[in-house]
Structure 1
Amino acid sequence: MQTVREQKIDLVLLSEPYKHLNGQPWETDSTTKAVIWSCGKLPFQGVVNNGNAGFIAASVDGIRFYSCYASPSLTIVDFTDFLDRLIEDAKQYYPVAIAGDFNAWAVEWGSKLTNARGKEVLEAFSTLDVVLLNSGDTPTYNKGDASSIVDLTFVSSSLIRGNYHWRVMDLYTVSDHNAILWEVSIDKNPRRPAKKLDVTGWKVKSFDPNTFVAALNDEPITTGSAEEKIKNLMKRVTQACDTCMPRKRGMNQRPPVHWWNDHISSLRKESLKKRRISQRGYRRPNSAELVAEYKSARRCLNKAIKDSKRISGKSSLTMWTRTCGDDLTRW
């Protein structure tokens, strides 16, 4: 607490605190391992999401803050589930700041190698408009001769348009983790980025050929010039790719295709989850069962896509026919 007062800190995000404070604006997740402490003059705004295990979320001064803790004892499946829940919640808010102990390694934040957890973190956060604040190679964790960089800070791109900094502090703490001080600029009128980028690409390792075939509109293109036909074809391919693969980081967010709905979105998440589980469990005794579950989830997704496209196609045809009929009546 003395360090907080000396540094004039507004907000503290803690992982595995050695004790909890009473009578303070102090909120924890369901495991009490992730904490947000509003120690300045800025109160919590709106609803505090503390029902999840692994992260606690609260809005302060227009920013949605997340304090996270992923125990090293989590299996890769449980770790992926934690990330899925975190990202799904963060997609509902803007701007966001996400920090905590992920117990994950990746060369992108200074580790010597990238492990399975690091890959999952990179893939999960690539779906958000966030940047990694970590810089340099100073360890955030030290215990004896062992050290690592496992404490990460991600913030929305709008929060680094002005002055910002991030650094590991050389301060005494009772923890094996070092204190990290970071500061961002607050844009009172934040907007999600709408800048179009020239680069187009997808996370190809998630490519599912069966879902791609199901999503691709294969009706013949019979009208328009050669150039228009090419544009139409590329639009169809792009929409099919969006259905079966997440886009790379920094991609321009496009509206979903007309036949997309929440049910298909839920089925795709379930299919991708089953796929990850089956891939990681190929050495387990029940590997055949995991593969069968994935194939079943994929079949459900493909069927839902085909059904929605058929129904949406009929709806679009009816609307188009009525419009043409009105025009013919007027003329």
Structure 2
Amino acid sequence: MAEGLTHLAVVAEPYRVLLGPDWAGDLDGRVAIVRRGYVGAPPGFDLVERGRGFVAVLWAEMIVVGVYFSPNRTLAEFEGLLLELGRVIGRSHSRRILVLGDLNAKSLAWGSSRTCPRGTAVEEWLVGGGLVILNRGTELTCVRRLGGSVVDVTFASPDVASRIRGWTVMVGEETLSDHRYIRFSIAVAPEVTSTSLFCGGGVEGPRWAQKRLDVERLNEAAIVQAWRLDSLGEPMNVSVGVERMREAMSRVCDADMPRVRSS
């Protein structure tokens, strides 16, 4: 953390969980959240709740939840953990949520080659909780001699997801573990500006009532349109790409503020 100037880390199956103001662990010592304390660090590191396999803290105005679930426990126990996590998130006063850890669940949605029953349960849980999958690509997060898997996951509420930058599985870094590091940054919360939206080409395009802008709906709509553009693949030429982007921006604006009627 010191070498990478990392502010916060979630560690699944740590060698030990230390006592101190910069550490928080679950009841079983299977997952921990660690803060790098220094002058000017993001404010707050307050324990919200902890149980078997999870710990939640309030940090930088976000609820950060670290999770770990053993592959040796049953599906019923796994569903119980998801239920408890949902309650923790639902009881929180912050709508900014970040969930990280090793659930030992596989799903095509976060890069696995198949979806297992636990993966299906997580998918349903994400939809019910309104959380977004931040995993990108199919790079293995756990590598063993006879193969590997993608079981280390990152989920977030739309507001936080829109500020995530550079989510990456760190291939080649020594971790003294069969799991790889996952690293990303979180941008400062965006501020609403009065910059006007317009279409190019010298023709006046649609206009929206920006004073009635719903920032949360804007973030959610932008994420949905980003997924949609990714699913379409690379455009055949620049003109097609521009048209796709124009359509996506219009859909985002329509989702979070009404149009201004032409006079």
Report the TM-score when normalising by structure 2. 0.68
Is the Cα–Cα contact under 8 Å of residues 87 and 125 in structure 1 kept in the other structure? Answer: no
CA contact (8 A) 2:167 2:182 kept: yes
Aligned to 2:74: 75
1:177 and 2:179 are equivalent in the alignment: yes
- Superposed CA offset, 1:16-66 (max 9, x none): 01233344511101111011111142354444312x111100010101000
Number of the residue aligned with 1:269: none
Aligned runs of 1:206-285 on 2, under 5 Å? none
- What SS does the corresponding residue of 1:5 show, helix, strand or coil? coil
- In 2, distance between residues paired with 1:160 and 1:100? 16
Q: Within 5 A, what are the aligned runs for 1:49-88?
A: 49-50=49-50, 52-88=51-87
Read off the aligned partner of 2:12 and give its amino acid letter. Answer: S
Q: 2:233: which partner in 1?
A: none
SS at match of 1:108: helix
Query: Counterpart amino acid of 1:68?
Result: V
Structure 1 partner of 2:105? 104
Structure 1 residues 189 and 30: CA distance shift in structure 2, 3 A: farther
How much identity, in percent, do the aligned residues show? 28
Alpha-carbon spacing, 1:189–1:86, altered in 2? closer, same or farther (3 Å): farther
Q: Note if contact 1:160-1:185 (Cα within 8 Å) is conserved in structure 2.
A: no
Contact 2:164 2:184 in 1 (8 A): no
- RMSD over aligned CA atoms reads 2.4
Counterpart residue type for residue 15 of structure 1: A
Contact 1:94 1:192 in 2 (8 A): no
Q: 1:163 to 1:109 in 2, by over 3 A?
A: closer
Q: Secondary structure at the match of 1:126?
A: helix
Deviations 1:215-244 (A, max 9, x none): xxxxxxxxxxxxxxxxxxxxxxxxxxxxxx
Structure 1 segments of 4+ aligned residues over 6 angstroms from their partners: 188-192
Aligned to 2:249: none
Q: Establish whether residue 21 from structure 1 lines up as the match of residue 25 from structure 2.
A: no
Match of 2:160 in 1: 159
Indicate the residue corresponding to 2:259 in structure 1: none
Q: Which has the higher helix share?
A: 1
Tell me which structure has the larger Cα radius of gyration: 1
For residues 8 and 48 of structure 2, the distance between their equivalents in structure 1, rounded to whole angstroms, comes to 15
2:177 counterpart letter in structure 1: S
Q: Write 1 or 2 for the structure with the bigger share of strand.
A: 2
1:10 aligned partner: 7
1:105 and 1:115 in contact (8 A); partners too:
yes
Are the aligned partners of 2:131 and 2:157 in contact in 1 as well (CA < 8 Å)?
Answer: yes
Quick one: which amino acid aligns to residue 5 of structure 1?
A: A
- d(CA) in 2 for partners of 1:115 and 1:91? 26
Structure 2 unmatched runs, 5+: 193-213, 222-254, 256-263
Q: 2-side partners of 1:145 and 1:179: how far apart? A: 20
Distance in 1 separating the partners of 2:45 and 2:190: 15
Contact 1:169/1:180 (8 A) holds in 2: yes
Letter of the 2:182 partner, please give it. I
C-alpha separation in 2, matches of 1:119 and 1:127: 13
TM-score (norm 1): 0.54
- Name the CA distance, whole Å, in 1 between partners of 2:105 and 2:65: 17
Distance 1:46 1:27 in 2: 9
Letter matched to residue 71 of structure 2: P
Paired residue for 2:127?
126
Letter in 1 for 2:95: Y
Q: The residue matched to 1:87 in structure 2 has which SS?
A: helix
Cα deviations across residues 75-102 of structure 1 (Å, max 9, x unaligned)? 0100000000001211233100001000
Compared CA separation, residues 131 and 7, structure 1 to 2 (3 A):
same
* Distance apart, 1:194 and its partner CA: 4.3
Give the deviation of 1:133 after TM superposition: 0.9
1-structure distance, mates of 2:164, 2:111: 23
Separation of aligned partners in 2, 1:175 and 1:45: 27
For 1:133 and 1:126, how far apart are their aligned partners in 2?
A: 14
1:138 corresponds in structure 2 to 139
Q: Which runs of 5+ in 1 are unaligned?
A: 198-251, 253-331
Contact 1:159 1:186 in 2 (8 A): no
Letter in 1 for 2:133: L
TM-superposed deviation, 1:181: 0.3
